[in-house]
Amino acid sequence: MKINAENLSFRELNEKIRNSKSRKIEIENMLGQRYTGSGCTGKDIEIHGIPGNALGAYLTGSDITVYGNAQDAVGDAMNDGTITVHGNVGDAAGYGMRDGKILVKGSAGYRAGIHMKEYMEKKPLMVIGGKAGDFLAEYQAGGRIIVLGIGYEQTCPVGDFCATGMHGGVMYMDHPEQVICEDAAKDDIKAIKADVELFAKKFGFDANELLNAHFFKLTPNSNSPYRRLYVNN
């Protein structure tokens, strides 16, 4: 099913998506409509244009592919599925995401992965091809974040205050005191191999070349990470 989003409000567009009996939906001429695919189940949505805030919020078992950039709050609290963006994303991508995958070919704004969490077999994944802004993985409680730094090999691919308040999960990639930063070992590279291969397949990169980069692994350094933020030692 094809939908021309030109002159459609976000409510009208989302109603068309929800009411469609087709699994595969292609959206053309999209320009800033919000909440596209919010809570959507069992759909494959292909977007040409720029979706607005909260793309795929509360997504459950659907796949969304964007051939362009996306605005803030991509995958907000998503439960399952995959969001693939062939451009950049704005702030707070993956806010509180519980499961599923967010793959970004380009860069992410501030506070990507904030409050990302996991429970038992539910372990969300975010792979950022370029760089990430300040407060990446702020208060991260679970899941995996991988920053590949493509195009930023001569500089740090993350902004200030990376992993502030982190108390769970792991990030592969200037780190705060409450996290341990160490060289990624062979087992770590093995753990992210499938994730990087998925990213490479989606966006046409050489997975082996990406995996040969020098990765760092960030993990929590304390069961009470906030103490060092707010209490003098």
**Average pLDDT estimate for 26-37:** 96
**Average pLDDT estimate for 46-52:** 97
φ/ψ (deg, to 5) at 229: -85, -35
State the residue for tokens 């409680």: 141
pLDDT given for residue 220 in this prediction: 80
Q: Model pTM?
A: 0.90
**Average pLDDT estimate for 47-58:** 97
pLDDT given for residue 165 in this prediction: 85
Tell how far CA 67 is from the center of its chain. Answer: 16
- Is residue 174 predicted with pLDDT exceeding 50? no
Confidence of residue 163 (pLDDT cuts 50, 70, 90): confident
Specify the higher pLDDT residue, 81 or 221: 81
CA distance 21 to 4: 17
Residue 9 CB-density burial (10 A; 0-12 exposed, 13-18 middle, 19+ buried): exposed
pLDDT given for residue 175 in this prediction: 46
Helices marked H in the chain — which ranges? 10-19, 186-203, 207-211, 227-230
pLDDT given for residue 178 in this prediction: 54
Specify the higher pLDDT residue, 134 or 165: 134
Sign of the CA dihedral running 220, 224, 228, 229? positive
What residue type is assigned to position 170 of the chain? V
Structure tokens at 88: 């950049």
Q: What is the DSSP letter of 11?
A: H
φ/ψ (deg, to 5) at 204: 80, 35
pLDDT given for residue 223 in this prediction: 54
- Is residue 177 predicted with pLDDT exceeding 70? no
> What is the tens place of the pLDDT at every residue in 75-89?
999 999 999 999 999
Q: What percent of the chain has pLDDT over 70?
A: 92
| DSSP SS3 for 151 | coil
**Average pLDDT estimate for 95-107:** 97
pLDDT given for residue 222 in this prediction: 61
State the residue for tokens 């991508």: 93
pLDDT given for residue 164 in this prediction: 86
Specify the higher pLDDT residue, 49 or 233: 49
φ/ψ (deg, to 5) at 171: -130, 135
pLDDT given for residue 173 in this prediction: 75
CA distance 196 to 213: 12
Task: Please name each of the domains of the chain with its CATH number.
Answer: 88-230 (2.160.20.60)
- Is residue 232 predicted with pLDDT exceeding 80? no
